[in-house]
Amino acid sequence: MVEDWTADPVPISAGEISVDVRDDHAVFGLRRIVPDANPPYLVYVVADSDGPVTTALGVKATAWCSLFATGLHEGSFALLLDGVNACSPEAKRGAVAGHGVGIGAADISLCPKGNVCGFAPGKDWLVRVDTGFVLTALPWAPGQPSVKVASSAEDPEHIELENVFPQGSAVFFESSDSYHSGINVWTKAAGPRPFVRWIDDTSQGAGDFGTDGADMVWSYGSGPQVVGGGWPNVDVMTAKYTTDPSAIQPRKVRSSLGKHIGTEPWVVGCGYAAHQGDLSNFIVRLADGVTWTLPYDDTNGPLTFVQPLGITCTEAFFLGQFGGRWNVARLRLDSLGPGAPPD
């Protein structure tokens, strides 16, 4: 796929594009607004990184938020529906979701009346996040009942639930406020459980959970949180994938280049992980902690990596400003050079 709408005045932004890696191959989900058409319209496409568009959906609308991409993961996508011509929280009403990208399957899931909700797609579940941080797993199989995952009211510390990450039959999510940060896991058999979390302990926390189903990566902060957020010490942690908290065998990879936790999930693939640091994006090799820091110029210079999107065994994909234009960079892993050793 090549996105070459050079005349389009609306640039790609972080919320417009996502990458799903399946069988070591990258698939893009891209939402674009075409404001100069008559009438204006929004289009969402799913396309192979080296091939054709496989799924497309268009909506006639004058507001950019009428159809908003909320994710492409494990062969499933979710698009948040808003008002047709207005950007109003009261207008949000549900999602168009597809399971089995390339088939074009799409269903509509509605938000409960009076709720503003979001959605996170995965292999087995479309997870809805309602007002009050109530998480509900909606099965893709038709006619099957939804299942409540968790809520802030039932959380051991009664704090916000965020960074929802469905993976296979499980749902990972984080509990976080100004003083606490921890990772939880839910399965239909076991229900919600603390995964990497220290209840009522403000001296340490974990977040930014990401996985490719083989390796798990998260950020671990220690020491009293500093004023304005962040931790004095943040490490990159990894373990082999599991949904059983008692089976986790955590290993420190290196210290992190970012001191905040709970901002974005780690992007993980084929033994590598990428994240946003305090100043620049970086890639870490999980086996030995070797790190590559990518260029960043806050004046939107010619080569600015802004957000990691996906990693295969040969490439890493980043959103950024390249040559003065927002686009996606494909960065070959074998071109990164020797990298910096772990601390």
Give me the number of domains the chain comprises: 1
Is position 94 within any domain?
A: yes
Residue 97 has what pLDDT? 73
> Which residue in the block uniquely carries the two structure tokens 């168009």?
96
Is position 163 within any domain?
A: no
Angle (nearest 5°) at CA 95 between 115 and 25: 135
Is position 237 within any domain?
A: no
Q: pLDDT tens digits, residue range 150-175? A: 999 999 999 999 999 999 999 999 99
In this prediction, the residues of the chain whose per-residue pLDDT falls under 70 are 1-15, 61-66, 82-95, 100-110, 113-116, 227-229, 298-301
Is position 172 within any domain?
A: no
Is position 43 within any domain?
A: yes
Q: What is the DSSP string of 18-67?
A: EEEEETTEEEEEEEEEETTSSS-EEEEEEEETTS-EEEEEEEE-SSGGGE
Is position 161 within any domain?
A: no
For residues 144 and 137, give the distance between their C-alpha atoms in angstroms, rounded to a whole number: 11
Domain carrying residue 74? 1-111
79 close to 128: Cβ distance less than 8 angstroms: no
Residue 283 has what pLDDT? 97
How far, CA to CA in Å, does 149 sit from each of 54, 91, 97, 130? 32, 25, 19, 12
Q: pLDDT tens digits, residue range 269-328? A: 999 999 988 778 999 999 999 999 998 776 656 778 889 999 999 999 998 887 777 788
Is position 296 within any domain?
A: no
Is position 65 within any domain?
A: yes
